[in-house]
Amino acid sequence: MLTFKTTLTSLALITGALSAGFCQNAAQPGAAQPKPLISSIYTADPSAHVFNGKIYIYPSHDIEANVAQDDEGSHFAMQDYHILSMDRIGGKVTDHGVALSLKDIPWAGRQLWAPDAAFKNGTYYLYFPVKDKQDIFRIGVATSQSPTGPFKAQPNPIPNSFSIDPAVFTDTDGTSYMYFGGIWGGQLQRWHTGKYEANGSKTDLKKDNEPALSAKVVRMSRDMLTFDEPVRDAVIVDKDGKPLLGGDHDRRFFEGGWMHKYNGKYYFSYSTGDTHYLAYAVGNSPYGPFTYQGILMKPVTGWTTHHSIVEFQGKWYIFYHDVELSGKTHLRNIKVRELTRRPDGSLETITP
Ligand code: FUB
Other beta carbons less than 10 A from residue 228's beta carbon = 15
pLDDT at 135 over 80: yes
Q: Which residues contact 349 (CB under 8 A, 6 or more apart)?
A: 294, 295, 296, 297, 298
pLDDT 10s digits, 42-74: 999 999 999 999 999 999 999 999 999 888 999
| d(C-alpha 140, C-alpha 137), whole Å | 10
Contact 190, 203 (CB under 8 A): no
Nearest CA owner, ligand 1 atom 5: 114
pLDDT at 20 over 80: no
Contact 214, 235 (CB under 8 A): yes
Q: What angle do CA 191, 197, 201 make, to 5 degrees?
A: 85
Residue 277: closest CA among 236, 241, 240 = 236
Q: Write down the pLDDT at residue 32.
A: 67
Domain ranges in the chain are 5-338
Report the pocket of ligand 1 as residue ranges, CB < 6 Å.
1, 44-45, 60, 76, 113-114, 164-165, 182, 255-256, 304, 306
Nearest CA owner, ligand 1 atom 2: 113
Q: Write down the pLDDT at residue 31.
A: 52
- Residue 349 has φ and ψ, to the nearest 5°, of -70, 130
| d(C-alpha 99, C-alpha 47), whole Å | 15
pLDDT 10s digits, 82-110: 999 999 999 999 999 999 999 999 999 99
Q: Write down the pLDDT at residue 33.
A: 81
pLDDT 10s digits, 149-197: 999 999 999 999 999 999 999 999 999 999 999 999 999 999 999 999 9
pLDDT at 327 over 80: yes
pLDDT mean over 122-135: 98
- CATH class assigned to 5-338: mainly beta
Contact 259, 168 (CB under 8 A): no
pLDDT 10s digits, 227-265: 999 999 999 999 999 999 999 999 999 999 999 999 999
| d(C-alpha 352, C-alpha 321), whole Å | 10
Question: Which of 58, 138, 255, 278 maximizes ligand 1 atoms within 8 Å of its Cβ, making it the mutation to test the pocket?
Answer: 255
Half-sphere CA count of 85, side-chain side, radius 13 A: 14
Q: Write down the pLDDT at residue 205.
A: 86
pLDDT at 12 over 60: no
Q: What is the pTM of this model?
A: 0.92
Contact 329, 323 (CB under 8 A): yes
Q: Which residues contact 108 (CB under 8 A, 6 or more apart)?
A: 102, 130, 131, 132, 133, 140, 153
Q: Show which residues are catalytic.
A: 45, 255
pLDDT 10s digits, 199-230: 999 988 889 999 999 999 999 999 999 999 99
| Separation of CA 313 and ligand 1 centre (Å) | 28
pLDDT 10s digits, 276-313: 999 999 999 999 999 999 999 999 999 999 999 999 99
pLDDT mean over 3-31: 35
For the CA of 45, the nearest atom of ligand 1: 10
Q: What angle do CA 252, 255, 260 make, to 5 degrees?
A: 90
| Separation of CA 256 and ligand 1 centre (Å) | 7
CA atoms 258, 260, 266, 269: torsion sign: negative
Burial class (CB in 10 A: 0-12, 13-18, 19+), 106: exposed
